[in-house]
Amino acid sequence: MSRVKGKDTKPELIVRKILHSMGYRYRLHHPNLPGKPDIVLSRHKKIVLVNGCFWHGHENCNRAKLPTTNHDFWANKIAKNMERDRFNINELEERGWEVLTIWSCEISKSELLKTKLAKFMRGSNNA
Ligand SMILES: [Zn+2]
């Protein structure tokens, strides 16, 4: 399962850079929280997850299309990842964290991405 989330993947670096430029400070891969979330903004009680569309099963996303070869294998694997993601997010929310998921397909739309992060940090996220 270690391939599910590579550390310091490029999309994550981009999100970190944006948050940093907005003046937010964060911890990475917090070991004591469910799922070792990517970016933890402890002071704000907020967490940003940066998910690869394929591995985390981004709904209605081109990048999340399953291969036709070994389709069942992949469908099963991705379904498990999604289930674990939901479980982790629930756990985090129950502990009072606010969680935002950024998908890798959103990384290239830098203006939208910045808006989404800014909104979330200001506390008006419903995405
Ligand atoms: Zn996507």
Distance of CA 95 from the midpoint of ligand 1 (Å)? 27
78: CB partners within 8 A, 6+ apart: 54, 55, 56, 57, 64, 66
pLDDT at 69 over 90: yes
Q: How far apart are the C-alpha atoms of 56 and 46, rounded to whole Å?
A: 20
Q: How far apart are the C-alpha atoms of 18 and 39, rounded to whole Å?
A: 12
What is the number of other CB atoms lying within 10 angstroms of the CB of residue 87? 12
Residues less than 5 Å from ion ligand 1, measured at CB = 53, 58, 61, 63, 103, 105
Question: Tens digits of per-residue pLDDT, 42-61?
Answer: 999 999 999 999 999 999 99
Model-level pTM?
A: 0.86
Question: Tens digits of per-residue pLDDT, 2-13?
Answer: 455 555 568 999
